[in-house]
Amino acid sequence: MSAALSPPEDRGGPAQPLLSVKGLLKHFPVKKGLLGGVSAKVRAVDGIDFEVLKGETLGVVGESGCGKSTTARLLLSLIDPTAGEIVFDGERVGSRALSLKAFRRQCQMVFQDSYSSLNPRLTIEASVAFAPQVHGLPRREAVARARDLLARVGLDPRRFAERYPHELSGGQRQRVNIARALALQPRLIILDEAVSALDKSIEAQVLNLLMDLKEEFGLTYIFISHDLNVVRFISDRVMVMYLGKVAEIGRSDDVFSRAQHPYTAALLSSMPSLDPDNRTEVAPLAGDPPNPIDPPPGCRFHTRCPLAEPVCSAKEPPLAVTDGSHRAACLAVQPGSGHSLAPPAAGSEMAA
Amino acid sequence: MAVLAQHSVVEGPAPKATGYWTGVWRRLRRDPVAIAAGLVILALILMAIFAPYLAPADPYRTSTLRRLRPVGTAGYPLGSDELGRDMLSRLIFGARLSLFMGITPVVLAFGIGSAIGVLAGYVGGWVNTAIMRTIDVFYAFPSVLLAVALSGALGAGFGNALVSLTVVFVPQIARVAEAVTTQVRSRDYVEAARASGAGGFTIVRVHVLGNVLGPIFVYSTSLISVSMILASGLSFLGLGTRPPEPEWGLMLNTLRTAIYVQPWLAALPGVMIFITSIAFNLLADGLRSAMDVKQ
Amino acid sequence: MTQPAIEIRNLRVTFAGVVRAVDGVDLTLAPGEVVALIGESGSGKSVTLRSLMRLHPPRRSKVEGTMTVAGQDVLAMSQRALADYRGATVAMIFQEPLLALDPVYTVGEQIVEVIRRHEKASKAEARARALELFQKVRIPSPERRLDAYPHEMSGGMRQRAMIALALACRPKVLLADEPTTALDATVQIQILLLLRDLQRELGLSIIFVTHDLGAAVEVADRIAVMYAGRIVEEGTARDLIRGPRHPYTIGLLKSRAEGALAKGSRLDAIPGSPPDLAHLPPGCPFAPRCPLAIDPCRADRPPPIPVGPGHTARCIRTDVSPTLLSPASRSDAAPA
């Protein structure tokens, strides 16, 4: 195997985050009027910071317009950020030490639409073998690797390698997309709603596959989904986004059992109960998520928040530590914020 | 292979893997209209190639005595024209120039237009704006007017007619190419290819061309009939082929004076143009649906 | 016994002569009852629903069996009767309201038009009723929203507007085709609760098609699970969630991520994929994926077998199927 495609090595050791994002910002201009004058901008991602630790699965949840898919595309430099930087294992992406092409080898993505993400005119074997060839692996070796990977994702290459995407089912196509993402032996895979379009019985198969592959190849995942059950199941840590901002981030158990942000709490109680004797009686939130073109001032969530107070529309809450590694951007849990529910300020350690 | 055993996809009898073009051919074969149109075109092309063997008489030999004989005259199965030349032979020989004038400008425009359109569509941004607005200037003229104006400016003649027809079709094909490319460029597989670190040229070659040339080809096929009609029109106006060359459009022109004397005779070249253009249009329609994978 | 709101007997729908999308569905709805049709893509749930509106193109599809809605034979209706039936007796809501609403008219105009097509009402009367409907589906500032075009509304508002449009002519039966699938979680629950309230208030019978068990439990009295064109299990929502008997239903419940025992444990996935509807196996269509399948399962199609009051399962192994529910019997022994 050519030296150019040996698995990338760990540089900073296990304690250094694999990915660290600082002040990531993306505004899309909205053209209005005949002359194309820019009069508004969509604040798709509006200054977010987070880290992805080596070997973990970071779940990202949020509703449409929260910026989770834009974040995924920004991380892969498929679109250019308005501001902010991305550091991969200690090196800034795009710097001399880590070129964009070298970074892309180590970070791959699986998209939601399994059909649209495969070239309809290529056999699935050719689709999987494409990326290694781009990085200089001879065709014969690339195809051998593709067939090996197809086998690993459960598609017998003798039966499937020569087929075209339209000859496969949705679940099978998503397995091909996973194989393609693995073809460069990346360290980080971004799964953007990768199981959302699949039927429930197939979704479970693919989730099991993803967990096994993670163990086998020592992968790190960013798992983006709107399905809280799936995120809870697969993630070590969870990040909740609302209108381009991080609302809450922390260990999965903490976020799901002790949600600090009222939006997280509302999302959780919006999940159907699956208990015929305990149906949901009151919707936790009214109305739709607001438009990211013109987000409300202060806390973005105050227009729908049951705990909102005047201070919430005046002051933008920082993403602050609430306990341990658990952080939330809500004034109601931040000491000295001026919110009536805020815990007392100054040094007094939180009791219970 | 432990993973394979665990995740292996259980499934019924697997359909045999088929290639893309095999599938297109299989679907096209089930479309009787397209097949009939294809056979008509094939027959026309064979007729053009083997014209010297098929034609019963010399298409250039005039006869002042036997002018404008009706269809069915002995020795003149389809009659004779205003100079006493055998109509059947002229129609058979006419297929050569007429098909050539129909197909060549479209082939040339397909190459040039696709290149321009794919470039504009894939690069996007101001390159796209610059190219497409220029194209729009040409597109704004009605095709007939543009062809006539260009031919007139370049001067009458066969080669100039080809050039002007090509120029007429380039903007049309480029616009389609740009639209299809823009659409394909936003597909996730192109994003995935970019995310794998591939360069623009590789992505266009592997992922874009294969998916855009099909639709552009289908659209171009439908232009062949337009090209034939425009070429006939140029000849009719005296800007394309010149007498005594047999060409359907030119024949239609020279026979127009005979329309009150021998209406059937005068209509014959028109019938040939009509059949050919209908055949190309129907074949294009058939191709369009046969190339739709989801059927 | 009152006349049922919907009675479907042995419904079969075939496309292009070979694809048996619906293969013998029987379903009865009492007036004011809500039944959820659950199934994966290709299970025939949406096809069944569309058959009730006779939405399938007659040239490319064959619909057999009998369907009676509010005493009317759906398959025997003339085009004229059908036009009256659609909207006034049965109305339908869809997954994507943007496709169901006309983009060039305001939502209010569309409701007024539907009312005036079915009833003798003046424009003002129809408009007043449209306003009332908007209040009923709880659209804030309804007066103003009546004059909005569909694209000017948010996803949740559009879905409410479509429900208002569906209810414009006081139908007795509402057919809902995945109405909450495309919505965000916090909006989905609002629409589910709205449907439940409207059903109670108006005494509607609703067939609610979804692939999401959770959404079904929130609104349905009864649940019917479809697989490969047939209803494989039917019962009250409680019976079906607490005591499922068909191995497919059990598999669906067990493969859910929230049912996983612990983080990092594997999910109990159903192996394999759904069958090709053009080449259905002779026996039970689920047999190739079923951990309990025995030879008779592969030979004949199982009939519906009663397993409790109002609870049936098309499975000849319902005597042993509850053992699948216990965590001890993991489906490791699934056939390869």
Kindly report, residue by residue over A276-292, the tens digit of the pLDDT.
Answer: 888 888 888 888 888 88
Total of domains in chain A:
1
- Cα separation values, C210 from A67, C33, C38, C179, C180, Å: 27, 16, 5, 8, 8
- Parent domain of A137: 116-185
CA C75 to chain centre: 20
Where do we find the tokens 């996983």?
C260
Three-state DSSP at B57 gives coil
Tokens of B227: 């090209």
Q: Identify any residues that bridge with A52 across adjacent strands, giving them in sequence order.
A: A19
- The mean pLDDT of A31-40, rounded to a whole number, is 62
* Shortest CA gap A227–chain B (Å): 21
Cα–Cα distances (Å) from B183 to A133, A283, C190, in that order, read 25, 40, 36
pLDDT at position B12 is 42
HEC secondary structure over A220-268: EEEEECCCHHHHHHHCCEEEEEECCEEEEEEEHHHHHHCCCCHHHHHHH
In chain C, residues under CATH classification 3.40.50.300 are 1-89+173-182+202-336
Q: Which two tokens stand for residue A15?
A: 């304690």
DSSP B217: H
| Assigned domain for A150 exists | yes
CB C30 within 8 A of CB C7: no
Identity of the residue numbered C31: P
What is the side-by-side order of every strand in the sheet holding A188-192? A107-110, A188-192, A220-224, A57-61, A237-242, A245-251, A326-328, A320-323
Say yes or no: A275 contacts chain C, CB-CB below 8 A.
Answer: yes
Lowest mean pLDDT among A31-35, A304-308, B147-151: A31-35
Cross-strand pairs, C233: C225, C313
Q: What percent of chain A has pLDDT over 90?
A: 48
| Dihedral of alpha carbons C242, C246, C249, C254, sign | positive
Q: How confident is the model at residue B74 (pLDDT cuts 50, 70, 90)?
A: confident
Distance CA(C181)–CA(C210), nearest Å, equals 8
So what's the ipTM on this one?
A: 0.86
List all residues of chain C from 223 to 252 with a beta carbon under 8 Å from chain A.
Answer: 236-238, 241-242, 251-252
d(CA B142, CA B132): 17
Residues of A in Cβ contact (< 8 Å) with B3: 151-154, 209, 212-213, 216
* Spatial CB neighbours of C12, under 8 Å, sequence gap ≥ 6: C20, C22, C23, C24, C62, C63, C64, C65
Q: Has residue B282 been placed in a domain? A: yes
pLDDT exceeds 70 at position A352 = no
Contact check, Cβ <8 Å, B11/C273? yes
* Torsion sign over Cα A330, A334, A337, A338: positive
C1-89+173-182+202-336 has which fold? Rossmann fold (3.40.50)
Neighbours of A131 (CB within 10 A): 28
State the Cα–Cα distance between residues A112 and A92, nearest whole angstrom. 28
* Pick from C42, C68, C70, C311: nearest CA to C172: C70
Mean pLDDT of chain B: 83
Enumerate the β-bridge partners of residue A26: A45
* Residue C282 at interface with chain B, using a CB cutoff of 8 Å: no
pLDDT for C173 equals: 93
Query: CA-to-CA distance for C138 and C161, rounded, in angstroms?
Result: 10
Q: Is A180 in the C-facing interface, judged by CB distances under 8 Å?
A: no
Region C106-133: mean pLDDT is 90
Q: Which chains touch C (3 or more CB pairs under 8 A)?
A: A, B
* Contact predicate B181/B121, CB 8 Å: yes
Q: Across the beta sheet with C19-29, what order do the strands follow?
A: C19-29, C6-15, C61-69, C72-73
CATH, residue B244: 1.10.3720.10
Q: What are the tens digits of pLDDT across the range A152-196?
A: 998 989 888 888 888 888 889 999 999 999 999 999 999 999 998
Farthest-apart Cα atoms in chain A, separation = 67
pLDDT class of A108 with cuts at 50, 70, 90: very high
Q: Is there a domain that residue B195 lies in? A: yes
Nearest chain C alpha carbon to A204: C269
pLDDT tens digit string along C71-99?
A: 889 999 998 898 889 888 999 998 888 88
Phi/psi-derived region of residue C170, left when phi > 0, alpha when psi is between -120 and 50, beta in every other case: left
Is A263 a member of any domain? no
B175-210 residue pLDDT tens: 999 999 999 998 999 999 998 888 888 999 889 988
Helices A170-182 and A200-217, packing angle to 10 deg: 10
- B11 pLDDT above the threshold of 60: no
Q: Does B9 touch chain C (CB under 8 A)?
A: yes
Torsion of CA C248, C205, C90, A271, to 10 degrees: -60
Cβ–Cβ below 8 Å for A285 and C186: yes
Question: Which residue, chain included where needed, has tokens 């929502």?
Answer: C237
A57-61 vs A237-242, strand pairing mode: parallel
| Segments forming the whole domain that contains residue B234 | 25-54+82-290
Cβ contact, residue pair C263, A252, below 8 Å: yes
Q: With b meaning 16 or more CB within 10 Å and e meaning fewer, what string describes B83-116?
A: bbbbbbbbbbbbbbbbbbbbbbbbebbbebbbeb
Q: Could you tell me if residue A251 is inside a domain?
A: no
Query: Contact, B283 vs B37, CB < 8 A?
Result: yes
pLDDT of C313:
94
Q: Can you say how many angstroms the Cα of residue B226 is from the centroid of all Cα atoms in its chain?
A: 8
**Domain count for chain B:** 1
Considering only alpha carbons, which residue of chain A is nearest residue C215? A272
In this complex, the residue of B5, B11, B13 whose CB is nearest that of residue C272 is: B11
- Strand-pairing partners, residue B76, are B73
C 134-153: CB under 8 A from A: 140
CA distance B186 to chain C (A): 22
> Which of C307, C329, C293 minimizes the C-alpha distance to C243?
C307
> Is residue A162, in this structure, part of any structural domain at all?
yes
Question: A47 lies in a domain?
Answer: no
Neighbours of A257 (CB within 10 A): 10
Question: Are A159 and B14 within 8 A, CB to CB?
Answer: yes
| DSSP string computed for A90-131 | TEETTSSSS-HHHHHHHEEEE-S-TTTTS-TTS-HHHHHHHH
Find the closest chain C residue to A277 by CA distance: C238
Q: What pLDDT score was predicted for residue C327?
A: 58
Looking at B86-90, B103-107, C219-223, C236-240, which range is the least confident one? B86-90
Whether A169 is covered by a domain: the verdict is yes
Average pLDDT (A252-272) is 91
Q: How far is CA B242 from CA A18, A282, B162, B234, B249, in A?
A: 75, 84, 14, 10, 11
Which pair of structure tokens corresponds to residue C92?
Answer: 């339908």
Residue C206 · residue C32 · CB < 8 Å: no
Indicate the pairing of strand A83-88 with strand A19-32: antiparallel
Average pLDDT taken over every residue of chain A: 88
The gap from C-alpha B218 to its chain's centroid, in whole angstroms, comes to 9
Cα dist. A37→A9, A32, A33, A168, B91 in Å?
A: 48, 6, 6, 46, 60
For chain B, list the contacting chains (3+ Cβ pairs, <8 Å).
Answer: A, C
Q: Measured between beta carbons, which residues in chain A are less than 8 angstroms from residue B191?
A: 73, 78, 109, 111, 117
User: Residue A32: is it exposed, middle or buried by C-beta count within 10 angstroms (0-12/13-18/19+)?
Assistant: exposed
- Which residues lie below 8 Å from residue B136, measured CB to CB, with a gap of 6+? B171
**What is the 8-class DSSP label of residue B255?**
G
The answer on pLDDT for C123 being more than 60 is yes
Q: Does B8 touch chain C (CB under 8 A)?
A: yes
H, E, C per residue of chain C? CCCCCEEEEEEEEEECCCEEEEEEEEEEECCCCEEEEECCCCCCHHHHHHHHCCCCCCCCEEEEEEEEECCEECCCCCHHHHHHHHHHCEEEECCCHHHHCCCCCCHHHHHHHHHHHHCCCCHHHHHHHHHHHHHHCCCCCHHHHCCCCHHHCCHHHHHHHHHHHHCCCCCCEEEEECCCCCCCHHHHHHHHHHHHHHHHHHCCEEEEEECCHHHHHHHCCEEEEEECCEEEEEEEHHHHHHCCCCHHHHHHHHCCHHHCCCCCCCCCCCCCCCCCCCCCCCCCCCHHHCCCCCHHHHHCCCCCEEEECCEEECCCCCCCHHHHHCCCCCHHHCCC
- What confidence score (pLDDT) does residue C331 get? 43
The answer to whether C263 contacts A272, with C-beta atoms less than 8 Å apart, is no
Backbone angles phi, psi at C285, to 5 degrees: -65, -20
CA distance B10 to chain C (A): 4
pLDDT band at A348 (very low <50, low <70, confident <90, very high): very low
Give yes or no for C211 touching A (CB within 8 A). Answer: yes
Decide the pairing of beta strands A220-224 and A245-251.
unpaired
Q: Which among A50, A56, A59 is positioned nearest to A24, based on CA atoms?
A: A50
pLDDT band at B294 (very low <50, low <70, confident <90, very high): low
Tell me whether strands C173-177 and C205-210 are parallel, antiparallel or unpaired.
parallel
Distance in Å from the first CA to the final CA of chain A? 57
Tell how strand C205-210 and strand C222-227 pair up. Answer: unpaired
pLDDT of residue A279: 87
A295 inside domain: no
DSSP state of A333: G
Higher pLDDT, C253 or B13: C253
**In angstroms, rounded to a whole number, what is the distance separating the alpha carbons of residues B81 and A187?**
79
State mean pLDDT over C183-191: 90
Over residues B16-44, mean pLDDT:
83
Contact residues on chain C for B4, CB-CB shorter than 8 A: none
Percentage of chain C beyond pLDDT 90 is 49
- C279 interfaces chain B, CB cutoff of 8 Å: yes
Q: Is residue A176 part of a domain?
A: yes
d(CA B54, CA B60): 15
What tokens does C329 get?
């019997």
Query: Positive or negative CA dihedral for C48, C50, C54, C57?
Result: negative
What was the pLDDT predicted at A209? 92
Q: What is the mean pLDDT of residues A44-54?
A: 92
Looking at B63-77, B112-126, B242-256, which range is the least confident one? B63-77
Confidence band, pLDDT 50/70/90 cuts, at residue C103: confident
In this complex, is the C-beta atom of C181 within 8 Å of any C-beta atom belonging to chain A? no
Read off the pLDDT band of C65 (50, 70, 90).
very high
